[in-house]
Homo-oligomer: A and B are copies of this chain.
Amino acid sequence: MKQNLDEIVKTLQGAKNILVACHVFPDGDALGSQLALGEVLESLGKNVFLYGEDAVTHLYDFLPGSERIITMLPDLRDFDCAVALDCGDNKRLGQGMDLLLAIHPFIVIDHHFGHKDFGDMRWVDHTRSSTGEMVYELIMAMGADISKDVAFCLYTAIVSDSGSFKYASTSAETFRIAGELVEKGVKPAKVAGKLFDNFTVNRLQLLNEVLATLQLHCNDKLAVIRVTREMFERTNAAKADTETFINYPRSLKTVKIAIFLKEAENGLIAVSLRSKGKEYDVARIAGLFSGGGHRNAAGFKRSGVSLDEVERALLAEVAPLLGAG
C-alpha cells in the first residue's frame, strides 16, 4: 500500500496537466478530497482540472473552491495524468467513464469496502474513515503545505464520511489527523455548522412528513420509511434533502435493518438500506434487486413499479432474515 502511495507521489510530481475527478452525486468526502488535492497540486505548479458529472448541491457549496468543479468533460487529450477520488468502482465516475479512463496514468484513491479495481495505479484502504484522510497522507508524502482552505476541505471530508467521528472506521489515526487540521486553523464548530445545521424549513417539514410514515416489522427489528412525490411537492424540498433521513429509523434501539423507499423522478423508485453490526448484510439484499453497496449501507433502483410493490417484494426477502415469515 505504501509502495503504491510512493508511486502515486512520484507520478503526480512528474505530471503537468492533471484531471482530478470525484464520483457522481458527490458528498462531503468526495468534494472535500477533490478540492484539497486540487489546491495542493496547483500550489506545486500543476495545471489542474476539477471534474464531476453532477453539480455541487446546496449542501456542499460552502466548500472553498466548489464553484471551480466543472460538470462538462474537457478535451481529454490535454492531460498527462488523472486521479479518481472516493470512487468504489469505475461506474461512479458517471457517463464519461470510458473517456476519462483513456487518460493514463489513471490514479485511483479510495476507501470503500468492496472496492472494484480500475485504473492504472491504485491506493485503496477500506480501513480509512474517508478518502480525505488518505489525501491528507498523500499531501504529507508530497511534502506540500496545507493551507487553511485545504485543511478546511480535508476536515470536512473526514467529518462528513465518519458521521462526525461516529462510524466504525474512525481510528486513533483519524483523530490524530483531525487534531493536525485543527492546528492549521480549522474551527470544528464552523464545519459542523455547515454540514449539520444547514436544514431548510422545507427540509425539516419533509423530515416530519417522512417520519410520520414509519412502520415497524419483525418485532421492531425492521423499520421502513418512505417519501412520495406529493411530499416533495407539498414541502418544496429536493431529493438531496433526504440524504440523512434513513439515520432516524436506523437510530432506533431495536432496529437491525432500516429501509427508506423514495419515489424519485420519472417513475423511478430508489431504495436505501442500512443495517447495524455484522449480522445483516444489506449489500446482499440490494444485490437481489440488482443493486449494491456495503454490508451496512446499500441501495437499489427500480422502475415501472409502485412504492407498495417494491416494499412488498423487499419485505418478503428481509422478514425471513429477521426471524419472521
Contact B182 A172 (CB under 8 A): yes
Count of chain A residues with a beta carbon within 8 Å of a chain B beta carbon: 47
State which of A101-109, A212-220, A230-238 sits at the interface with chain B.
Answer: A212-220
> How many copies make up the complex?
2
Which residues of A in the span 169-215 have a Cβ within 8 Å of any Cβ on B?
170-176, 178-180, 182-183, 187-189, 192-193, 196-201, 204-205, 207-208, 211-212, 214
State which of A10-18, A75-83, A247-255, A285-293 sits at the interface with chain B.
Answer: A247-255
> What residues of B have a CB within 8 angstroms of the CB of A175 in the complex?
175-176, 178-179, 182
Give A283 Cβ to nearest chain B Cβ, in Å: 18
Q: How far is the CA of A248 from the CA of B159 in the complex (A)?
A: 19
Please encode chain A, from 240 to 252, with 1 for each CB lying within 8 Å of some chain B CB and 0 for all others.
0000000011111
14 other contacts beyond A168-B187, A200-B252, A200-B253, with CB at 8 A cut-off?
A: A159-B165, A164-B164, A164-B166, A165-B188, A166-B189, A167-B188, A172-B182, A175-B179, A179-B179, A196-B251, A199-B248, A201-B216, A201-B220, A201-B254
Contact B211 A204 (CB under 8 A): yes
Select A208's contact among B179, B199, B200, B211, beta carbons within 8 Å. B211
> What residues of B have a CB within 8 angstroms of the CB of A164 in the complex?
164-166
The yes or no answer to A92 lying at the interface (CB within 8 A) is no
> What residues of B have a CB within 8 angstroms of the CB of A166 in the complex?
164, 188-189, 192, 196
Can you identify 20 A-B contacts, CB atoms within 8 angstroms?
Answer: A164-B164, A164-B165, A165-B165, A165-B178, A167-B192, A168-B187, A170-B182, A171-B182, A172-B179, A172-B182, A173-B179, A175-B178, A175-B179, A179-B179, A196-B251, A197-B250, A197-B251, A197-B252, A198-B253, A204-B211
